[in-house]
Chains A and B, each alone.
Chain A
Amino acid sequence: MKRRLTFRSIAGAIAFGWLFASLFAADTASQTRSTAPPAAAGPKVEKIDEKRFAELLKPNGKPLLINFWATWCEPCRQEFPDLVKIDAEYKGKIDFITISLDFEEEIATTVPKFLAEMKATMPTFLLVTADETAAIQMVSKDWAGALPFTVIYASDGTMSYFRQGIVKHDVLQAELDKLLKP
């Protein structure tokens, strides 16, 4: 690898970046607990591996909207109400799923609790894989894994839109309407 960096301040050193502060800024929903808490009321979240993940990326006759998120990601939590609105508005016209990247131990607690608070009803899966690089690349070569991430596939499987970062309700509406117009 011969990509050259021109600033001298880190010559000979590690530029170690973009770090933990944002993880600290996230809510405390994913704090480790010393005892297993009772399962939260809320939608059932299905654990998936990379094989099932690959299947979920394929549309099934309708446009497919997928949102990747986690409870520890504050921007994910901020945009969620808009996603719930979209789900209600496009029910039956598109397939909409969300994929949580929370830790596996949160699958019956923090994740469904958050979904219940949001009154979310779209199917939610929790991805557990030892190779996140491969999973991320399955979705897009332009994605580094930052959450939230939203992608829309047309019914023929082509990717018609993606957004790394908070997505706006009216933007999603416009993108979905493009695919649904007769």
Chain B
Amino acid sequence: MVKAYNDRINAIAAEYEARGIRFIGINSNATESLEWVTSDAKEVGYKFPVLIDKGNVLADKLGATVTPEVYFVNKEGVLLYHGAIDNDRSGKNIQDHYLKTAFDAALGGKAIEKTRTNAFGCTIKRAGTAGE
């Protein structure tokens, strides 16, 4: 599953950065150190910068809860799409390319039909949380 997402997101980043959309990867997991995230990002070969969200500040501001979870904003800071990359985590039978469809609509000046989706993923490991 991990490999499927890596290849997909790198491919999407390569395709759409060429069309003017910037990509940033953000790690909000309190359990993962800067050293680990750095070496992991190098090993995977992400095609975009990866930032650490210390203290979950950005995750809290945006209400992010699951990994991966994408936010597509325009240059005015308006949220255009939020949610899953596509409808098939395994990558084997993708029928709905949510993120790419949102990009294409925005780049074409059209309204994005699906502005919010969900997918199962691991919870963001926030600082100071425990089972309740």
Q: How many residues of B contact A (CB 8 A)?
A: 71
Let me know if A1 and B115 touch, CB within 8 A.
yes
Let me know if A103 and B125 touch, CB within 8 A.
no
CA distance A147 to B124 in the complex (A): 9
Of A16, A103, A164, which is in contact with the most chain B CB atoms at under 10 Å from its CB?
A: A16
Interface 0/1 of A4-18, CB less than 8 Å to B: 111110111111111
CA distance A145 to B77 in the complex (A): 25
Let me know if A168 and B32 touch, CB within 8 A.
no
Does B79 touch A at the CB level, under 8 Å?
A: yes
Let me know if A17 and B1 touch, CB within 8 A.
no
Query: Given the complex, which residues of B lie within 8 Å of A144, measured CB to CB?
Result: 65-66, 69, 118
Does A117 touch B at the CB level, under 8 Å?
A: no
Interface 0/1 of B63-81, CB less than 8 Å to A: 0111111111111111110
Q: Which of A14, A18, A79 contacts B69 (CB 8 A)?
A: A18
Interface 0/1 of B37-64, CB less than 8 Å to A: 1001100101010100100001101101
Let me know if A166 and B122 touch, CB within 8 A.
no
CA distance A22 to B96 in the complex (A): 24
Q: Which of B23, B59, B64, B118 contacts A132 (CB 8 A)?
A: B118
B residues with CB within 8 A of A: 1-3, 5-6, 9, 21-29, 31-32, 36-37, 40-41, 44, 46, 48, 50, 53, 58-59, 61-62, 64-80, 83-84, 87-90, 93, 95-96, 112, 115, 117-125, 129-132
A residues with CB within 8 A of B: 1-8, 10-26, 30, 32, 68, 70, 72-76, 79, 101, 103-104, 130-133, 136-137, 143-148, 163-168, 171
> Which 8 pairs between the two chains have the least Cβ-Cβ distance?
A12-B75, A13-B22, A168-B131, A146-B66, A146-B123, A17-B26, A166-B131, A5-B77
